[in-house]
Amino acid sequence: MSEISRADVEHLAKLAHIAMTEAELEKMAGELAVIVDSVKTVQGAAGDDVPATSHPLPLTNVFREDVVGEVFTSEQSLSNAPDAEDGRFKVPAILDEE
Protein backbone atom coordinates (compact mmCIF):
# COMPACT_ATOMS: atom_id res chain seq x y z
CA MET A 1 0.00 0.00 0.00
CA SER A 2 1.14 3.53 -0.71
CA GLU A 3 2.28 5.94 1.95
CA ILE A 4 -0.58 8.44 1.61
CA SER A 5 -1.74 9.30 5.08
CA ARG A 6 -4.87 10.93 6.37
CA ALA A 7 -2.70 13.94 7.31
CA ASP A 8 -1.51 14.22 3.69
CA VAL A 9 -5.10 14.24 2.45
CA GLU A 10 -6.09 16.77 5.10
CA HIS A 11 -3.21 19.02 4.04
CA LEU A 12 -4.17 18.77 0.36
CA ALA A 13 -7.83 19.48 1.18
CA LYS A 14 -6.78 22.55 3.13
CA LEU A 15 -4.63 23.79 0.22
CA ALA A 16 -7.53 23.26 -2.18
CA HIS A 17 -10.02 24.89 0.23
CA ILE A 18 -12.12 21.72 0.35
CA ALA A 19 -13.99 20.97 3.56
CA MET A 20 -13.90 17.25 4.34
CA THR A 21 -15.25 15.22 7.24
CA GLU A 22 -13.12 12.70 9.13
CA ALA A 23 -14.81 9.84 7.29
CA GLU A 24 -14.16 11.48 3.92
CA LEU A 25 -10.49 12.03 4.81
CA GLU A 26 -10.04 8.37 5.73
CA LYS A 27 -11.86 7.16 2.62
CA MET A 28 -9.91 9.50 0.33
CA ALA A 29 -6.58 8.44 1.84
CA GLY A 30 -7.39 4.82 0.97
CA GLU A 31 -8.56 5.69 -2.54
CA LEU A 32 -5.49 7.83 -3.28
CA ALA A 33 -3.23 5.05 -2.01
CA VAL A 34 -4.84 2.61 -4.47
CA ILE A 35 -4.38 5.11 -7.32
CA VAL A 36 -0.71 5.70 -6.49
CA ASP A 37 -0.08 1.94 -6.25
CA SER A 38 -1.78 1.41 -9.62
CA VAL A 39 0.42 4.04 -11.24
CA LYS A 40 3.51 2.38 -9.77
CA THR A 41 2.39 -0.94 -11.26
CA VAL A 42 1.93 0.60 -14.72
CA GLN A 43 5.31 2.34 -14.51
CA GLY A 44 6.95 -0.98 -13.75
CA ALA A 45 5.47 -2.66 -16.84
CA ALA A 46 7.89 -0.98 -19.24
CA GLY A 47 11.49 -1.89 -18.55
CA ASP A 48 14.63 -0.10 -19.66
CA ASP A 49 14.65 -2.14 -22.89
CA VAL A 50 11.29 -0.69 -24.02
CA PRO A 51 11.62 2.68 -25.80
CA ALA A 52 9.21 5.45 -24.86
CA THR A 53 6.57 6.13 -27.51
CA SER A 54 3.75 8.56 -27.97
CA HIS A 55 2.02 6.55 -30.72
CA PRO A 56 1.87 2.79 -31.25
CA LEU A 57 2.30 3.20 -35.02
CA PRO A 58 4.84 5.46 -36.72
CA LEU A 59 3.40 8.68 -38.10
CA THR A 60 4.33 9.77 -41.59
CA ASN A 61 3.12 12.67 -43.67
CA VAL A 62 1.92 12.10 -47.18
CA PHE A 63 3.15 14.90 -49.39
CA ARG A 64 2.15 15.68 -52.93
CA GLU A 65 3.43 18.19 -55.38
CA ASP A 66 1.78 21.58 -55.05
CA VAL A 67 0.74 22.15 -58.62
CA VAL A 68 -1.39 25.10 -59.70
CA GLY A 69 -4.47 23.82 -61.48
CA GLU A 70 -7.23 25.63 -63.29
CA VAL A 71 -7.65 29.09 -61.81
CA PHE A 72 -10.89 31.07 -62.03
CA THR A 73 -10.87 34.68 -63.03
CA SER A 74 -12.44 37.25 -60.75
CA GLU A 75 -15.44 37.49 -63.04
CA GLN A 76 -15.95 33.71 -63.02
CA SER A 77 -15.71 33.57 -59.24
CA LEU A 78 -18.24 36.37 -58.78
CA SER A 79 -20.62 35.26 -61.55
CA ASN A 80 -23.03 33.43 -59.19
CA ALA A 81 -22.50 35.63 -56.14
CA PRO A 82 -25.67 37.22 -54.75
CA ASP A 83 -23.86 40.56 -54.47
CA ALA A 84 -20.43 41.86 -55.45
CA GLU A 85 -18.64 45.18 -55.27
CA ASP A 86 -15.21 46.27 -56.54
CA GLY A 87 -14.33 42.72 -57.63
CA ARG A 88 -15.10 41.23 -54.21
CA PHE A 89 -17.95 39.33 -52.59
CA LYS A 90 -20.27 41.68 -50.73
CA VAL A 91 -21.79 40.28 -47.57
CA PRO A 92 -24.00 41.76 -44.86
CA ALA A 93 -22.17 43.50 -42.04
CA ILE A 94 -22.05 41.48 -38.84
CA LEU A 95 -20.45 44.12 -36.63
CA ASP A 96 -21.87 47.54 -35.99
CA GLU A 97 -18.77 49.55 -36.74
CA GLU A 98 -18.84 53.14 -37.77
Every domain of the chain and the residues it spans: 6-45
Q: How many CA atoms lie within 13 A of 40 on its CB side?
A: 9
pLDDT at 2: 64
CA distance 95 to 29: 54
Q: Which CATH number fits domain 6-45: 1.10.390, 2.60.120, 1.20.58, 1.10.20?
A: 1.10.20
pLDDT at 83: 93
CA distance 22 to 77: 72
Below-50 pLDDT ranges, the chain? none
DSSP structure string for 67-78: -------HHHHH
